[in-house]
Structure 1
Amino acid sequence: MHFHHERLPLRTASPIEIIDITAEIRQVFEKSSVREGQVTIHSPHTTAFVALNERETMLQQDMLAFLSRLAPKSAGYGHDQAPIDGRENAHAHLIGLFMNASETVPVHHGELLLGRWQSIFFVELDGPRESRTLNIQISGVR
């Protein structure tokens, strides 16, 4: 069994942002030489997540609008009364209840088994942020 780990640094520019990271994940995967196994993409943040979904401009705009409506930023949340880090980000934590910190993609015959329309996204809910990180763990046989 072979294991390969990398950290992918990211920077975000908007309060809520959906970034397609599929190409970056493929680049890391290619370095691993794994033929059968899996790739796990993990966000160690409590206000930024990983998602598999379709990359289509209007759908991504719909996603941003939906997330903004799901938990409006200025709704008087208790967490925002005395935030630990000075960020009034209760809305981001609440939206995060419905998201995944990680996603796992199977690998077969040296290929990521993403569906025809699937892309891998980093979802920022508390931006902009100068520094975000994703952990990419690849395991399997060469």
Structure 2
Amino acid sequence: MHFHSRRLSLRTTAPIEIIDITAEVQATFARESIRAGTVTLHSPHTTAFVSLNERETMLQQDMLEFLTRLAPKGAGYGHDRAPVDGRENAHAHLIGLFMNASESIPVDNGELLLGRWQSIFFVELDGPREARTLNIQISGVR
């Protein structure tokens, strides 16, 4: 059994941002020559997440608008009255209740088993941020 871990560093530029990281994950996976196993992606943040969804310009715009409406910034949340790190980001934590901190993608016959329309996204909910991390762990047989 082979294991490989990597940290992908990201910089976000918008308050809410959806970043396609499919190519980076596939490149990391390709270097390991795994025939069967799993690629696990994990965000160690409480206001940034990982998601599998369709990459289409208008859909991504719809996603941004939906997330913004789901929990509007500055709506009088208690967390914003006494923020732990000085950021009024209760909206980001609340949206995060509906998102995943991790995703697992099966590997078979040397390929990530993503659906035809699936891409891998890092979703920032409290940006911009200079430094974000996504943990990539690949396990399987060569």
SS of the counterpart of 2:79?
A: helix
Q: TM-score, normalised by structure 2?
A: 0.99
TM superposition shift of 1:119: 0.1
TM superposition shift of 1:11: 0.3
Is 1:34 matched with 2:38? no
Give the Cα separation in 2 of the matches to 1:94 and 1:32. Answer: 37
Aligned residues: 142
Superposition CA RMSD, Å: 0.4
Residue 50 of structure 1: aligned partner: 50
Give the Cα separation in 1 of the matches to 2:43 and 2:33. Answer: 23
SS of the counterpart of 2:139?
A: strand
Deviations 1:34-88 (A, max 9, x none): 1100100100000000000000000000000000000000100000001010000
Residue 84 of structure 1: aligned partner: 84
Q: TM-score, normalised by structure 1?
A: 0.99
Give the Cα separation in 2 of the matches to 1:87 and 1:27. Answer: 34
Give the Cα separation in 2 of the matches to 1:5 and 1:21. Answer: 16
Is 1:108 matched with 2:108? yes
Residue 24 of structure 2: aligned partner: 24
Aligned residue type for 1:91: H
Aligned residue type for 1:42: H
Any stretches of 5+ residues in structure 2 without a counterpart?
Answer: none
Give the Cα separation in 1 of the matches to 2:16 and 2:139. Answer: 31
Is 1:131 matched with 2:118? no
TM superposition shift of 1:127: 0.1
Identity of aligned residues (%): 81
Give the Cα separation in 2 of the matches to 1:107 and 1:134. Answer: 19
Aligned residue type for 2:118: Q
SS of the counterpart of 2:31?
A: helix
Q: Which runs of 4+ in 1 moved over 3 A?
A: none
Residue 99 of structure 1: aligned partner: 99
